[in-house]
Structure 1
Amino acid sequence: MSDRIDHDSLYRLAESQAGYFTAEQALQTGMDRSTLLHHARPGGRYERVRRGLYRLRHFPSSPHEHVVAAWLDLPAPAVVSHESALELYELSDVIPNAVHITLPREKRGRRPRAGVKFHMLTQAPSPNEVRRVDGVLATTPERTIVDSLEAGTQPEQIELAIGQALERGLTTPRRLRSAADDRSNRVRQFIDRVLAEHAA
């Protein structure tokens, strides 16, 4: 059986995910569960993080691997969002106290693990509001900024995030205004004010 396992493919996949992979991903490379458990024993090539989630034992750590580990084994279309997406884009100085994940409303019965906060939004992100960042699917910068503002992130952190996102070319005033179009008056007015100040 081991000669049919595509270890290189699994390594490349894990490499793109901060060293993490799911049991399902390992099985898709031709590995059976007993082989996976063998490699996850103490001193083996993999570390078992929790049920269904593994990590390459000697893979270098990265600043956002806790986000990857929280998101990776969640069902699609889970996306990293709010302050955790700000963290991924390195926008603002906010330090999230949990990994923020947006799930569709039909998943509202799912209970988050410790250190994870679920957001069940009426308007789940559309495909054009999501992109891959550091091995995870995350909301776009403009969607992230608007969601964070609406969820109560400190206004000065949102102002900082907007300025940084514009300066680094991660978004545009038009895309920010478009993201705020269907939000509350408070959110739209805030975005308009900060954009006007930035343009002055």
Structure 2
Amino acid sequence: MPRTTRNPSPERLFEIASVQAGYFTAAQARSAGYTRQNLAYHVAAGRFERVARGLYRLRQYPSFPYEDVAAAWLKAGPHRAVVSHETALVLHDLSAVRPDKIDLTVERPHRPAGNRPRLPGVRIHTTVQPLDAQDVVRIAGVRVTSAVRTILDAADAGTDLDQIVAAVREGIKRGLFTPSEMEEAARTRRARVRRLISVALQEAGYGSAVH
């Protein structure tokens, strides 16, 4: 259980929220010493904004254009969930097509699949192995799969080839990864994904050695 301080600590709450795009959960606020009454008071005073049930934002913190994504990520658990797949393509600005659901990846729990988090409008993907540090970046404080991991996951999940080609081309153009880095990462995936990445690199104007 998180330790609750005797008095509210604005510094501790800001420390929490500043690495989460300015957002914080009611549980995180309690860990910083804020009671339900404290939260209601600060919402009424205009210091906090109530975004959804159990989710708040520091009103003066720079806004995040994907509030629904941040909310879903926090509800799924900011330490165990990461924005991924087509939603991560959008956050990386590698796609202009927003998916119909928010994609989150969580480590496969050691419990029945039926006990996974159930969040409206969210598509949960699971992974057996914990994500390596190189596979996760932060965008405006939100944990997101890296550009390379995002493209590979999207390709694996059936994203249209045109979107994959555009993402590969844009990622290389912006220096997010090199063709060789994408090729190397693709070698760890199944044959279908390797072929898709090979075609994507060729369509984007780069040769591919992926087989």
**Structure 1 residue 123 displacement after superposition:** 4.5
Q: Give the aligned residue type for 2:55.
A: L
Q: Give the aligned residue type for 2:118.
A: P
Aligned residue number for residue 81 of structure 2: 78
Query: Structure 2-normalised TM-score?
Result: 0.81
Aligned residue number for residue 55 of structure 2: 53
1:147 aligns with 2:149: no
String of CA shifts for 1:111-161, please: whole Å, max 9, x gaps: 332121101234453232111112111111011001001111111000000
Gaps of 5+ in 2: none
Secondary structure at the aligned position of 1:72 is classed as helix
124 and 151 in structure 1: CA distance in 2 versus 1, 3 angstrom threshold: farther
124 and 147 in structure 1: CA distance in 2 versus 1, 3 angstrom threshold: farther
Q: CA RMSD in A?
A: 2.5
Q: Give the aligned residue type for 1:77.
A: R
- 1:9 & 1:166 partners in 2: Cα distance? 39
The 5-angstrom pairing of residues 106-125 of structure 1 reads 106=109, 108=113, 109-125=115-131
Deviates more, 1:131-140 or 1:23-32: 23-32
111 and 24 in structure 1: CA distance in 2 versus 1, 3 angstrom threshold: closer
Aligned residue number for residue 64 of structure 1: 66
Aligned residue number for residue 193 of structure 1: 199
Q: Is the 8 A contact 1:46 1:55 kept in 2?
A: yes
Aligned residue number for residue 174 of structure 1: 180
Aligned match of 1:23 in 8, 20, 26?
A: 26
3 and 120 in structure 1: CA distance in 2 versus 1, 3 angstrom threshold: closer
Deviates more, 1:142-151 or 1:45-54: 45-54
Query: Structure 1-normalised TM-score?
Result: 0.85
Gaps of 5+ in 1: none
Aligned residue number for residue 190 of structure 2: 184
Q: Is the 8 A contact 2:164 2:200 kept in 1?
A: no
Q: Is the 8 A contact 1:85 1:138 kept in 2?
A: yes
**Structure 1 residue 9 displacement after superposition:** 4.2
Residues matched between the structures, number:
198
